[in-house]
């Protein structure tokens, strides 16, 4: 398990370093203004789906169902075709109604800004089918305990976007955003290619034209019954960030960018430690519970908890103490000013207060998914999201973007409380001993 956590963490670290280089260039070339806001809005929806798919929901349901299936190739084929068909139809729908979708994502934008943003929203959304293919192939690789390709392949997206920024840096700002949007699509294609190469090397068969009885096989596996709650249940932090963007569109220009840059820094330790740990831990816990060896699963969970708590506490402390220095080091150059740094730094502090609860809740939610309690996990997310909306509406008027970030953090504490309550506080205390 430790080896797999290290592989995931190192791959995520490399990807996030490149991601910060990408953000550094974006901040330097575009700054924090209407053009950066347009891109972040266009990228927000497919990126939200990417995080929900890639960081848990699909894998947490697919792996247990796939492992129980007696017709694995047929099972994987029908799941792949059904999902891909739906996502392609959804992408076409977004293309046709791009202006309407943009209004929904950024209600506060005026008509001129929506006209600029909607073509980019339509293009960016085609990253979603590519994300699904990557996630599907990654789940098959994880089942075979191969984590490296998925961990490192996100770097290809960042390299593609960095290349797009460098090529277009001397153009008009809207054209730069246009290039950046196509960089997202090319990066997705490169990720698919990398996973296909890994699948071929490991000789994993996942597609067949022989689909007799496969639909009944899927029904018996309760795949979709578990999947829909899992999508919602694994997305609390991401839905909170999406809500921040939606409400921030009513505030002054640049606010969306401040929230984006602060959330990017917040997501680094969350991904590097919490998500890397949960990805490596889940197959082990799921198999132990499937084999009725609950004590083994608890032992792994206990080890993961102590490692993760230490790392997240240290990351939170460093990030809060050196918030302005971190933002200045990463982003303050070119069009990104000292005022932008100060505004982003205080928002970062509000996010980092919630790093521990979000991270710890992430690994304990694995217990619920392994027990196939996806519906309960979804209810936890629904409750926390409801409170997030209440907190956001209360705090946005006096504190604006800072209030939105702190509202997300408060919802993180609610997620942790409800997750541990479902896991069992008595069991949690015994685990700590």
pLDDT tens digits for range 55-69 = 566 777 787 777 777
- Rounded to 5 degrees, what are φ and ψ at 249? -65, -15
Question: What residues contact residue 402 under an 8 Å CB cut-off, 6+ apart?
Answer: 346, 347, 350, 395
User: What is the total count of domains within the chain?
Assistant: 1
Average pLDDT score over residue span 44-49: 72
Cβ contact 181:120 at 8 Å: yes
Average pLDDT score over residue span 366-387: 83
| Model confidence at 238: pLDDT above 70 | no
Please state which of the ranges 118-132, 229-243, 273-287, 350-364 shows the lowest mean pLDDT. 229-243
Q: With 0.75 as the threshold, say if the pTM is over it.
A: no
Q: Work out the angle at residue 8's Cα, subtended by the Cα atoms of residues 4 and 13, and round it to the nearest 5 degrees.
A: 145
Please state which of the ranges 38-42, 85-89, 227-231, 246-250 shows the lowest mean pLDDT. 227-231
The model's confidence at residue 169, banded by pLDDT at 50, 70 and 90, is confident
Helix residue ranges per DSSP H, 249-337? 255-269, 276-290, 294-321, 323-331
* Domain boundaries, position 6: 2-432
Average pLDDT score over residue span 162-169: 90
Cβ contact 237:365 at 8 Å: no
| Model confidence at 334: pLDDT above 90 | no
Please state which of the ranges 319-323, 335-339, 412-416 shows the lowest mean pLDDT. 335-339
Tell me the average pLDDT of the chain. 84
Q: CA 383, CA 185: separation in Å to the nearest integer?
A: 34
Percentage of residues of the chain with pLDDT beyond 70: 90
- The pLDDT score that the predictor gives to residue 106 is 72
407 closest CA partner among 243, 231, 267:
243
| Model confidence at 292: pLDDT above 70 | yes
Percentage of residues of the chain with pLDDT beyond 90: 29
Q: CA 83, CA 78: separation in Å to the nearest integer?
A: 9
The model's confidence at residue 92, banded by pLDDT at 50, 70 and 90, is very high
- The pLDDT score that the predictor gives to residue 17 is 83
- The pLDDT score that the predictor gives to residue 266 is 93
74 closest CA partner among 208, 220, 219, 216:
208
| Model confidence at 226: pLDDT above 80 | no
| Model confidence at 145: pLDDT above 70 | yes
Cβ contact 163:183 at 8 Å: yes
The model's confidence at residue 218, banded by pLDDT at 50, 70 and 90, is low
The model's confidence at residue 236, banded by pLDDT at 50, 70 and 90, is low
118 closest CA partner among 63, 50, 39, 58:
39
Average pLDDT score over residue span 364-381: 83
Q: Work out the angle at residue 48's Cα, subtended by the Cα atoms of residues 132 and 12, and round it to the nearest 5 degrees.
A: 75
Q: Work out the angle at residue 423's Cα, subtended by the Cα atoms of residues 418 and 428, and round it to the nearest 5 degrees.
A: 105
Query: Could you tell me which residue, 242 or 123, shows the higher pLDDT?
Result: 123
Q: Which of 59-68, 150-159, 244-253 has the highest mean pLDDT?
A: 150-159
- The pLDDT score that the predictor gives to residue 285 is 85
The model's confidence at residue 416, banded by pLDDT at 50, 70 and 90, is very high
| Model confidence at 219: pLDDT above 60 | no
């Amino acid at each position: 398990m430790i080896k797999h956590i290290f592989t995931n963490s190192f791959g995520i670290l490399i990807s996030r370093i490149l991601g910060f280089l990408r953000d550094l260039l974006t901040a330097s070339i575009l700054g924090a203004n209407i053009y950066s806001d347009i891109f972040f809005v266009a990228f927000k929806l497919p990126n939200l789906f990417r995080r929900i798919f890639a960081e848990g929901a699909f894998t947490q349901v697919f792996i247990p169902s796939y492992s129980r299936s007696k017709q694995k190739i047929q099972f994987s084929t029908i799941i792949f075709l059904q999902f891909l068909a739906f996502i392609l139809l959804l992408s076409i729908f977004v293309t046709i109604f791009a202006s309407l979708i943009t209004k929904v994502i950024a209600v506060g934008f005026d008509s001129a800004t929506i006209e600029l943003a909607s073509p980019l929203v339509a293009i960016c959304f085609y990253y979603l089918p590519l994300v699904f293919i990557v996630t599907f192939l990654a789940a098959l690789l994880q089942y075979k305990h191969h984590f490296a390709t998925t961990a490192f392949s996100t770097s290809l997206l960042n390299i593609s976007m960095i290349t797009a920024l460098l090529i277009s840096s001397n153009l008009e700002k809207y054209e730069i955003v246009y290039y950046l949007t196509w960089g997202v699509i090319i990066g997705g294609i490169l990720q698919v290619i990398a996973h296909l190469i890994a699948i071929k090397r490991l000789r994993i068969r996942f597609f067949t034209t022989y689909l007799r009885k496969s639909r009944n096989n899927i029904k018996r596996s309760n795949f979709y019954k578990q999947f829909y709650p899992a999508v919602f249940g694994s997305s609390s932090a991401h839905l909170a960030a999406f809500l921040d963007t939606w409400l921030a569109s009513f505030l002054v220009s640049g606010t969306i960018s401040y929230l984006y840059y602060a959330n990017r820094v917040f997501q680094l330790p969350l991904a590097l430690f919490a998500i890397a740990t949960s990805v490596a831990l889940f197959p082990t816990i799921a198999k132990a519970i499937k084999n009725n060896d609950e004590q083994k699963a608890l032992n792994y969970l206990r080890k993961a908890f102590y490692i993760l708590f230490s790392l997240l506490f240290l990351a939170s402390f460093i990030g809060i103490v050196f918030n302005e220095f971190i933002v200045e080091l990463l982003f303050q150059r070119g069009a990104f000013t000292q005022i932008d740094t100060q505004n982003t730094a205080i928002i970062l502090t509000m996010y980092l207060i919630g790093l521990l609860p979000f991270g710890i809740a992430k690994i304990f939610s694995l217990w619920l998914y392994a027990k196939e309690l996806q519906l309960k996990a979804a209810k936890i997310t629904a409750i926390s999201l409801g409170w997030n909306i209440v907190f956001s509406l209360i705090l946005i008027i006096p504190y604006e973007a800072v209030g939105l970030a702190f509202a997300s953090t408060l919802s993180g504490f609610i997620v942790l409380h409800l997750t541990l309550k479902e896991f069992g506080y008595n069991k949690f205390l015994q685990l700590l001993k």
